[in-house]
Amino acid sequence: MPADDQGLLDLLTRVAACKEDLQDIGLVLRGSVVERYMPCGKKGCRCQADPAALHGPYYQWTRKVGGKTQTIRLRPEEAKLYVEWIASRRHLEAVIARWEALGLEAAELIRLKPRP
C-alpha cells in the first residue's frame, strides 16, 4: 500500500474518532452563564456595609440576538443545565475544528500525490 493511501486511511480512522465524540453531545446552547453578587440599594442593608455583604448568587445567561446582547436571569437549577449545554456546544465546536483539520490534511495528501 502506498504511503499516501496509508495516510488517508489513518485520517479516516481519526474521522471515525470524531464521529464517536459526537455521540456524547446532547443539547447545545450559545452564550455564557455568570454568577453575580449585587447590592440592592436599600439604605442600611448589609450590602451597603463596609465590607459589603452582597446579595446573591444570581445567575445570568448572556448571548447575542440579532447583534445585540441579551441577558436573562436564571434559577440555580436552570443555570446548571445551561452551563452543561454551553459546554456541549464548545465540545461540538472543538470536534468540528478537528474534523476540518483532518479534511485539510487529506486535501494536502491528495494534492501532493504524484500524477501518473
Per residue in 65-82, pLDDT (tens digit) is: 999 999 999 999 999 999
Q: What's the pTM value of the predicted model, to 2 decimals?
A: 0.80
Per-position pLDDT tens, the chain of length 116: 455 678 888 999 999 999 999 998 999 999 999 999 999 888 889 888 888 899 999 999 999 999 999 999 999 999 999 999 999 999 999 999 999 999 999 998 888 766 66
Q: How far apart are CA 24 and CA 84, in angstroms?
A: 12
Q: What is the pLDDT of residue 4?
A: 61
| Domain ranges, ordered by start, for the chain | 3-111
Cα 37 to Cα 9, 82, 84, 115, distances in angstroms: 53, 19, 22, 65
- Which residues, in sequence order, are CB contacts of 97 under 8 Å at separation 6+? none
Give the Cα separation of 74 and 112 in Å (integer). 53
